[in-house]
């Protein structure tokens, strides 16, 4: 029998209520909320919120293929430290997650690491090459529910339409990386004033918005579910808002970095700020925030994209895009955006659990009988990010040296204490 755990003094965050209560966990399940509870392990939750564990819809774990940047184990540890009890593993591995063996490997390595649930996504097209559809039914049998070619968008509209038609039949979700590649050739940053003054090739907002617009049309035509990954522009938020008002089955995420950082940061040509889609303008950031406020944006997802030092520390045009995100997500969101504890839980746990279809186990109410996947976090601790103290194998955080408000104290995965007082226990 596993050790019982009691968390004392935290404010329990549920969709319908928020109140201080002790929480007891026995054998992987919430066994008590409130009352006089005793357990083997006592955790201090005072000054913290206690919610269902966070669920990241967008994590690059790099294994198989780029283990020098991250492994499933190191990425899972970073996730647990960030309060995540489940992460969706992006498919741009090598080999790509377009086959049963790779999907099974990723899931199983997650189980071996035992720090959070690793939920493999599947590719939309074989090898993410945008030419041939993956046999989805085989991957659905393996439990895959979210399909994406993330890192690239599916350029061919007819192919995307067929993917959505099959998606509709199988009840799965297509998640699009919205980028019309012919509009972003060679681009290193947002195509705006800053980019022009630096004299580097730009990634225009329209390259994202064109694909959002096209795919909304395809969703309207097919009735299939679509999730928009890492939206970054004001125009995209407007398009999604209108599509949702029509009742289309669309969901959308933004990243913490797109809410907190502007294109101006690239003036120093530092590749740590290079990301795809790129950091945008202050007006875009305001639009993303209003998308959060009115529910147009369902989820905050990290796009945790580790890159080994020797690849990232190159000139801006040669460096790969991507930033670390798992360990800083809560602090960045809470620092950059005015959000309530219930909004945080909704954006980082309840909604992404539904989108990833893991809500039998994650993103559930804190109530007796529910699975014990739990994060205990505060919104008041100010801490300074140091790339040397993050547990990811890579160092490419754009938040190095910045003060963030809000931090994860404890994470409980499947009833097991995996992070205690901000330290990973395995």
Residues that bind ligand DOR (CB under 6 A): 60, 92, 150-151, 177, 275-276, 303, 305, 320-322
Give the nearest residue (CB) to ligand DOR: 322
16: annotated active-site residue: no
Nearer of residues 89 and 305 to ligand DOR, judged by Cβ: 305
Q: How far is the CB of 65 from ligand DOR (least distance, A)?
A: 11
Give the start-end residues of each E strand in 198-332.
202-203, 225-228, 250-254, 299-300
How far apart CA 342 and CA 252 sit, in angstroms, is 18
Q: How far is the CB of 275 from ligand DOR (least distance, A)?
A: 4
Nearer of residues 257 and 409 to ligand DOR, judged by Cβ: 257
Question: What residues contact 83, with CB distance under 8 A and at least 6 apart?
Answer: 53, 54, 330, 348, 375, 377, 408, 411, 419
Q: How far is the CB of 96 from ligand DOR (least distance, A)?
A: 11
Beta bridge partners of 80: none
How far apart CA 80 and CA 66 sit, in angstroms, is 21
Q: How far is the CB of 144 from ligand DOR (least distance, A)?
A: 19
Q: How far is the CB of 316 from ligand DOR (least distance, A)?
A: 13
How far apart CA 313 and CA 125 sit, in angstroms, is 31
How far apart CA 182 and CA 196 sit, in angstroms, is 19
Cα-based torsion angle of the residue sequence 323, 251, 183, 154 in order, rounded to the nearest 10 degrees: 100
Q: How far is the CB of 207 from ligand DOR (least distance, A)?
A: 13
Token pair for 320 = 């790969």
299-300/374-384 β-pairing: unpaired
Token pair for 24 = 């007891």
Continuous segment of H or E residues that includes residue 114: none
- Residue 198, helix vs strand vs coil: helix
Q: How far is the CB of 128 from ligand DOR (least distance, A)?
A: 11
How far apart CA 222 and CA 279 sit, in angstroms, is 32
Cα-flanking dihedrals φ and ψ of residue 139, to 5°?
-75, -30
Say which of 215, 263, 298, 303 is annotated catalytic. 303
Nearer of residues 150 and 298 to ligand DOR, judged by Cβ: 150
Distances in whole angstroms, Cα of residue 388 to Cα of each of 215, 300, 384, 401: 41, 25, 11, 11
Report the alpha-carbon angle 44-48-54, nearest 5.
105
First-residue to last-residue Cα distance in the chain: 19
3-state helix, strand, coil in the chain (%, to 5): 35, 25, 45
Nearer of residues 303 and 327 to ligand DOR, judged by Cβ: 303
How far apart CA 355 and CA 315 sit, in angstroms, is 37
Nearer of residues 275 and 299 to ligand DOR, judged by Cβ: 275
Nearer of residues 55 and 305 to ligand DOR, judged by Cβ: 305
11-13/49-52 β-pairing: parallel
Nearer of residues 109 and 276 to ligand DOR, judged by Cβ: 276
- Residue 135, helix vs strand vs coil: coil
Q: How far is the CB of 421 from ligand DOR (least distance, A)?
A: 31
Continuous segment of H or E residues that includes residue 4: none
Nearer of residues 12 and 355 to ligand DOR, judged by Cβ: 355
> What are the residue numbers of the active site?
303
């Amino acid at each position: 029998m596993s050790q019982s755990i009691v968390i004392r003094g935290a404010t329990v965050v549920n969709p319908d209520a928020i109140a201080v209560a002790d929480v007891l966990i026995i054998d992987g399940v919430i066994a008590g909320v409130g009352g006089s509870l005793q357990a083997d392990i006592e955790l201090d939750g005072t000054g913290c919120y206690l919610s269902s564990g966070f669920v990241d819809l967008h994590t690059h774990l790099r294994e198989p293929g780029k283990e020098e940047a991250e492994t499933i184990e190191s990425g899972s540890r970073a996730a647990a430290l960030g309060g995540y009890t489940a992460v969706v593993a992006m498919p741009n591995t090598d080999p790509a997650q377009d086959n049963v063996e790779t999907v099974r490997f990723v899931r199983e390595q997650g189980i071996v690491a035992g720090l959070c649930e690793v939920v493999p996504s599947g590719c939309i097209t074989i090898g993410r090459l945008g030419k041939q559809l993956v046999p989805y039914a085989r991957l659905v049998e393996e439990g895959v529910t979210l399909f994406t070619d993330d890192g690239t968008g599916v350029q061919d509209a007819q192919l995307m339409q067929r993917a959505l038609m099959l998606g509709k039949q199988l009840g799965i979700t297509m998640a699009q990386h919205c980028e019309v590649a012919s509009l972003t050739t060679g681009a290193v940053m947002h195509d705006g004033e800053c980019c022009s003054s630096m004299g580097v090739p730009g990634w225009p907002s329209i390259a994202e918005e064109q694909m959002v617009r096209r795919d909304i049309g395809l969703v309207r035509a097919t009735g299939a579910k679509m999730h928009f990954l890492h939206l970054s522009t004001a125009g995209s938020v407007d398009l999604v808002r209108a599509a949702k008002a029509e009742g289309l089955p669309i969901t959308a995420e933004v990243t913490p970095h797109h809410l907190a950082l502007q294109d101006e940061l690239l003036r120093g040509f530092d590749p740590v700020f290079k990301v795809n889609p790129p950091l945008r303008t202050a007006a875009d950031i305001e639009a993303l925030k209003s998308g959060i406020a009115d529910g147009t944006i369902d989820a905050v997802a990290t796009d945790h994209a580790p890159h080994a030092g020797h690849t990232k520390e190159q000139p801006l045009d040669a460096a790969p895009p991507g930033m670390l995100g798992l360990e800083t997500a809560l602090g960045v969101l809470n620092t950059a955006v005015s959000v309530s504890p219930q909004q945080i839980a909704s954006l980082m746990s309840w909604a992404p659990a539904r989108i990833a279809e893991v809500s039998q186990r994650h993103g559930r109410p804190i109530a007796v009988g529910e699975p014990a996947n739990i994060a205990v976090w505060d919104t008041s601790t100010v801490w300074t990010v140091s790339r040397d103290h993050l547990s990811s194998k890579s160092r490419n955080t754009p938040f190095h040296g910045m003060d963030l408000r809000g931090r994860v104290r404890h994470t409980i995965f499947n009833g097991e204490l995996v992070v205690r007082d901000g330290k990973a226990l395995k």
